[in-house]
Amino acid sequence: MTDGPEYGFDTLQIHAGARPDPATGARQVPIYQTTAYVFRDADHAAALFNLQEVGYIYSRLTNPTVAALQERVATMEGGVGAVCCSSGHAAQIMALFPLMGPGKNIVVSTRLYGGTVTQFSQTIKRFGWSATFVDFDDLDAVKAAIDDDTRAVFCESIANPGGYITDLDAISAISDAAGIPLIVDNTSATPYLCRPIEHGATLVVHSLTKYLTGNGTVMGGCVVDSGKFDWTANDKFPSLSEPEPAYHGLKFAETFGPLAFTFHGIAIGLRDLGMTLNPQAAHYTLMGIETLSLRMQKHVENAMEIAAWLETHDAVEAVTYAGLPSSPYNHRVEKICPKGAGALFTVALKGGYDACTKFVDSLEIFSHVANLGDTRSLVIHSASTTHRQLTLEQQVAAGAAPNVVRISIGTEDPADLKADLNKALNAV
Ligand SMILES: *Cc1c(COP(=O)(O)O)cnc(C)c1O
């Protein structure tokens, strides 16, 4: 099918990027389990290697199954192109790589997935990059943190795990004024609930591992390009605006226009960093995405019911779910994620750290795992696991204080989930 804005989300999640297989007519996207592709002749091979012709060379760069997924996610996000890679964390590096260089920094929200806090506060230093962590509700602080060496602003749409919704319009106004891109991690919301590009995001990153695949089977990541950023408007992005020595002086922005970032991501990023998504994983994710809207509706419905009920439970001190009227972020739902605030939230228990560990050990339907966004309901005590490497101050800022448990509500029967939670809370 030809993809177009005339198709609704439920249609695009099944059809975007997928055409009957040209060789066999196969209706489902085949798993192209191949490493390499035969060149028509020597001229064809040379043209492909020179980026003069687009085609398949080697599956570290491109693969037809992965390409179908890239087109599907890009279409659902309203972007012009996407680069899939091996995990959500790989996607974050792939998003930053063309923008950054030694001595450059990013301004990032304090409210991020725990692994992202570690990647940004520790690991990227090895590349000579740094991150400045700021409270993104304090717009003056965000502005003040941006300096001449800042190359991007980074946040999550619905931040994992604390039920925090970022005012993307306000943040993108700041990044626009500074002439730098806004990168939004849309993992917790998915394009069904939130479309960051419509709120000014330049790039959208995903952990495909979560809701997009949806059932906890494979790892994957994706960077979607809005195609809207002018990389030549200032001299901050030489990888995209200046001649590229690895391609005989080709300028990505000049040659590929709005697709400059996507082509760079494949031709330089995947080629040289090698964080490639495999076609099997792309297949599982394509299968998952076909039912994304159906699952997200049920996730949100269940989350609303269970969060509201938990808020009234005697053992519970607080529930941070933006879908609840009690949340300070409830007023942003309508603007940023009108179909719902997702299905991830945290519960603070009156009994503190020990009550939390007892609680997670007492659950039966809920699994205690380091994952989220599964059809199965999941729970984790962040302070003793995913956020363990952070300081107490960082834990609190990230919504993962010692008395807090993160809950990822699945698509099971809500009465069963409530009964399981009730039994475990009463055991605390
Ligand atoms: C899981 C997650 C990531 C990291 O993705 P992986 O696929 O585990 O590498 C990044 N951001 C958010 C919001 C996540 O939930």
Ligand 1: atom nearest CA of 371 is: 1
Ligand 1: atom nearest CA of 219 is: 7
Phi-psi region of 363 (alpha: psi -120 to 50; beta: other; left: phi over 0): beta
- Structural domains for the chain: 9-99+181-288 (3.40.640.10), 292-427 (3.90.1150.10)
Tell me if 157 CB under 6 Å of ligand 1. Answer: no
Query: How far apart are alpha carbons 319 and 324 in whole angstroms?
Result: 9
Query: How far apart are alpha carbons 145 and 302 in whole angstroms?
Result: 39
pLDDT, position 265: 97
Query: How much of the chain, in percent, has pLDDT values that exceed 70?
Result: 99
Residues of the chain scoring pLDDT < 50: 3
Tell me if 200 CB under 6 Å of ligand 1. Answer: no
Cis peptide before 161 (omega within 30 of 0): yes
pLDDT, position 190: 98
Mutate to test the pocket of ligand 1, among 86, 112, 113, 165 (most ligand atoms within 8 A of CB): 113
Please give the mean pLDDT across all residues of the chain.
95
Tell me if 211 CB under 6 Å of ligand 1. Answer: no
Question: What would the two tokens of residue 260 be?
Answer: 């400059």
Question: What would the two tokens of residue 261 be?
Answer: 């970032």
Tell me if 210 CB under 6 Å of ligand 1. Answer: yes
246 CA to centre of ligand 1 in angstroms: 31
pLDDT, position 49: 87
pLDDT, position 5: 55
Nearest CA to ligand 1 atom 2: 207
As a whole number of angstroms, the longest Cα–Cα distance in the chain is 73
254 CA to centre of ligand 1 in angstroms: 33
Mutate to test the pocket of ligand 1, among 84, 89, 156, 385 (most ligand atoms within 8 A of CB): 89
Tell me if 207 CB under 6 Å of ligand 1. Answer: yes
